[in-house]
Amino acid sequence: MKLAISKYVWFDGKFVTYEKAHVPITTHAIHYGTSIFEGIRAYWNGKNLNIFRLNDHIKRFRRSGQFYSISLNYTDDQIFDAAINLCKKNKIRRSCYIRPFYFVGQYGINLHVTPSAPTHAAMFAFPFGDLFNKNGISAGISSWRKFSDLSAPTLAKMGGNYLNSILATQECKRNGYDEAIMLDINGNVSEAPGENVFIVKNNTLITPPLSSSALEGITRDSVMTLADELGYSTIEKEITRSQIYLADEVFLTGTAAEIIPIINIDGQKVGDGRTGNITKQILDSYNKAAMGTDQNHQDWITPVY
């Protein structure tokens, strides 16, 4: 995926051109994956650019580093301002994706990372539309299991954690699927490589609990709120492989993916093989909230201009 990176990026508290943002080849994060990141969407509605759930992303951004004693040497307000000013500096007037991250810098080959280890923080943006076909995608159950919270914190958006997701993605693409569904170490549904999983059964939403090694997704939280407002309850409980095959509807949620219907799993139709009615309703509600036209969720958006 080739990206049109913003001309200006935020790097260690300053705006510089993309070409001037460099790190040494001895950077610890390059060797050991000691980086923390977020993915944030901003939506252009024709009048303003609205950053979606910025404060919630910043909270998770900081919390992820705490698992690994990786320091974010900027306040939440500074990260908040950096995101807004990044969009302004680049005069962005189209929907985009914002990627803030921080990482361990020059630290030799020392694995004893402490809060005093040198870190750097950066942020860039790029225009972004649909990650997947909104009309529905195919998925395959991966042979690669989602790693357990007993091995590493599954609640952390940490660079090294996503090697597991890369393996599952490579496998599903080789097998001709659009996306993978990963099971946890107990054989229950966990999540997709970059998204949370929901199924609909008898007009009730079911999503794996965080104890199934699922990330505490911000879009996941948004969907549960919106579903409740539409009159649908959500249950967090374990989902077996058999249950996902028999679901009435299945969809994924994530910042990059947004809300994506799965209409085929392992070559079998989900429901009637089309986007389900409840999925459509939730997607419509999500789009209104993200675009800033839902008056009930103005607290979810941060206008740039």
Residue 251 forms part of a structural domain: yes
Q: Give 2's pLDDT tier (boundaries 50, 70, 90).
A: low
pLDDT at 72 over 80: yes
Q: How much is the pLDDT for 61? A: 99
pLDDT at 214 over 70: yes
Answer yes or no: are the C-beta atoms of 197 and 206 closer than 8 Å.
no
* Shared domain check, 13 and 102: yes
Residue 116 forms part of a structural domain: yes
Residue 132 forms part of a structural domain: no
**Among residues 134, 157, 280, 288, which one is catalytic?**
157
- For residue 95, the enclosing domain spans 8-127
Point out the least confidently predicted range of 6-10, 46-50, 129-133: 129-133
pLDDT at 15 over 90: yes
* Shared domain check, 221 and 99: no
* Shared domain check, 143 and 119: no
Q: Give 4's pLDDT tier (boundaries 50, 70, 90).
A: confident
Q: Choose the final residue of a domain: 127, 151, 184.
A: 127
Q: Give 1's pLDDT tier (boundaries 50, 70, 90).
A: low
Residue 303 forms part of a structural domain: no
Q: To 10 degrees, what angle do helices 54-67 and 218-229 make?
A: 140
| Distance from C-alpha of 304 to C-alpha of 205, rounded to nearest angstrom | 34
Q: To 10 degrees, what angle do helices 76-89 and 54-67 make?
A: 130
| Distance from C-alpha of 115 to C-alpha of 113, rounded to nearest angstrom | 7
Q: The CATH number of the domain where 109 resides is what?
A: 3.30.470.10
DSSP 8-state symbol, 297: G
* Shared domain check, 75 and 210: no
Residue-wise pLDDT tens digits, 228-257: 999 999 999 999 999 999 999 999 999 999
Answer yes or no: are the C-beta atoms of 147 and 154 closer than 8 Å.
yes
Q: What is the mean pLDDT of residues 263-275?
A: 97
| Residue closest to 282 by CA, chosen among 251, 255, 247 | 251
Contacts (Cβ under 8 Å, ≥6 apart) of 62: 72, 76
Provide the whole-model pTM.
Answer: 0.96
Residue-wise pLDDT tens digits, 163-185: 999 999 999 999 999 999 999 99
Q: To 10 degrees, what angle do helices 218-229 and 277-291 make?
A: 110
Residue 304 forms part of a structural domain: no
CB count within 10 Å of CB 211 equals 15
Residue 270 forms part of a structural domain: yes
* Shared domain check, 141 and 123: no
* Shared domain check, 262 and 286: yes
Is 157 an active-site residue? Answer: yes
